[in-house]
Amino acid sequence: MGSGVMEPIEFWKMSGSGNDFILIDNRDGQVKNEDMEPLVQRACRRRESVGADGAIFVVESDQYDFGWRFFNADGGEVEMCGNGGRCVSRFAYLKGIAKPKMTFATLAGPVSAEVNGRVVKVLMPRPGKPSMDLGVDYQPGWRSCDFINTGVPHVVIGIEELSIHPVKEQGRSIRYHSLFSPEGTNANFMRRVGPSELEIRTYERGVEDETLACGTGAIACALVASIREKVSPPVRVKTRGGEELTIHFKRENGSFEEVCLEGNTSIIYQAHLHQEAV
């Protein structure tokens, strides 16, 4: 932040199936564009500040109900975050910014959502074409390795045993693999546990660690599993945090349409961020 005195910033702390976020209504421009990255880097530090996987600024939009700017905990701005999209939708509804059915602007394109109590269903941007059987050296425990962009890039690795898998170590090696340089990728480890049920664990770039959930990662796993594991929608995805996300989609002519992410959101608290915390 700049060297001047910062007025306290009102924020909400929310969680989407284990992904936690700082949400700020910034339609008045209280936080300047150049101050967003350093504020996020400091406010997202656990034990020293609020602590979160990322931060979301709600901004004005000429075309839609509102716009957002989404930053990972390292201060890097990214196109999309599924669980963040669900949290910001409920935030916007409860703050009177939008009605229960809304559309908001992201770097990945417009996103539509519907709020029904704590449950939020988000219609995601159309995913990219999957790349199956990536040409990378398989690491211990891998059965498959595929790629798809679901708003942000995701590698999906099929494994047999999830609970003891070294997600952080192998996830980091994939995240920084030269094949995905320089932007990097997220890495998901997936196991099918039923006809339409998956368990996953995700290493997220920007957080640089395993997270309790990842919405776009859950979508990536469901879409890849529909090809490789023959699962049928809606696909239930159990996250590392124990909560369940539901992925809806249609598969037509080799592409995916009407991809939706559905699950619970939680309001953790509302407070003010002071200069000493950033």
Active site residues: 81, 214
Q: Give the list of residues 6+ apart from residue 34 with CB closer than 8 angstroms, or none.
A: none
Is 42 in a helix, a strand, or coil?
Answer: helix
Are the beta carbons of 103 and 92 closer than 8 angstroms? no
Alpha-carbon distance of 261 to 233, in angstroms, equals 12
Q: How far is CA 48 from the centre of its chain?
A: 23
Alpha-carbon distance of 112 to 122, in angstroms, equals 6
Longest dimension (CA), the chain: 57
What's the start-to-end Cα distance of the chain, in Å?
Answer: 7
Is 216 in a helix, a strand, or coil?
Answer: helix
Q: Give the list of residues 6+ apart from residue 236 with CB closer than 8 angstroms, or none.
A: 194, 196, 197, 198, 244, 245, 246, 247
